[in-house]
Amino acid sequence: MANQREQQQASPSLPRPPMPSKPRHMSELYGGMRFDPNGRCLVRTYLAPKAIRGRLPNLEIMDVIPDDVDVYGTRPEALPFHRCNRGASGKVWGHFFTTRPAAAASGGPGSYVRVVPGGLWVRYDEEKAYADSDGDVLGYRCRFAFHGEDGKLTAWRMKEFRLNEGAAAYRGVAFHPVAKNLVAWKVYNDVEEPLSDDEGDDEDEDEDDEAEEMEVDDPVAAAACTEDDLTQRQDKKKKQKLR
């Protein structure tokens, strides 16, 4: 037994597979890895560069947020969710770039509905603003629930993120043509998510900035998002203590 224990202690741990020299696809990720950035990080690290440059930064994973999926022509369960974005309990999620219809961008009644085959995405809360430490609003998020053709509520949910192009941070920026009405969608199934904001701002903040994790092969971006989120939460707690 002693010799066996010594052999186990002396045995080296398995080395981690070397990182490839060329970008990979999401389908090539190692088991256990996933892509699920929080809202603020999605706006700043992915949506903003896409709107400004017309493409994402040079990440080691090429298709984390595809822009060639017809989200308006597909029911949510038929969307191409990556293998790594599937949970053991049956939960799935995926991120997609798309363009809002003109009616949605107008701020009128059309901004509350997204029509797709077999049903409707119906907005169920007010926009949430993502601001930097100076209070400058960089982007917004709205939440939608999917209703079938019979009007019945399903377990599918969607978060739509858009930039605030009038923010001071973007003053003087020449946006790429793809930025017109550009949004990022996160589509997922969650039967436990309530269709109200009765939980309050703190609960909603936890949902977007703490509960959702980001695991990507871009440590600089990940660290920057984490640091920014921490600063935002600390500033919020200081303001609450002063009240």
**Of the candidates 83, 82, 79, 55, which has an alpha carbon nearest to the alpha carbon of residue 69?**
79
**Of the candidates 66, 42, 75, which has an alpha carbon nearest to the alpha carbon of residue 159?**
42
Domain 24-189 superfamily per CATH: NAC domain (2.170.150.80)
According to the model, what pLDDT value does residue 214 have?
30
According to the model, what pLDDT value does residue 26 have?
62
Which helix (DSSP H) or strand (DSSP E) does residue 139 occupy?
A: strand 137-148
8 Å CB contact between 54 and 69: no
According to the model, what pLDDT value does residue 88 have?
73
List per-residue pLDDT tens for the chain, 243 residues long. Answer: 455 555 545 445 555 555 545 666 666 666 567 788 899 999 999 999 999 999 887 666 667 888 889 999 999 999 999 887 887 778 899 999 999 887 776 666 557 788 898 999 999 988 999 999 889 999 999 999 999 999 999 999 999 999 999 999 999 999 999 999 999 999 999 766 666 544 333 334 444 443 333 333 333 343 334 344 444 445 555 544 454
8 Å CB contact between 119 and 153: no
Residues ≥6 apart with Cβ < 8 Å to 25: 61, 62, 63
According to the model, what pLDDT value does residue 27 have?
60
8 Å CB contact between 51 and 176: yes
Separation between Cα atoms, residue 214 and residue 35, nearest integer Å:
6
pTM of the model: 0.70
According to the model, what pLDDT value does residue 82 have?
84
According to the model, what pLDDT value does residue 14 have?
52
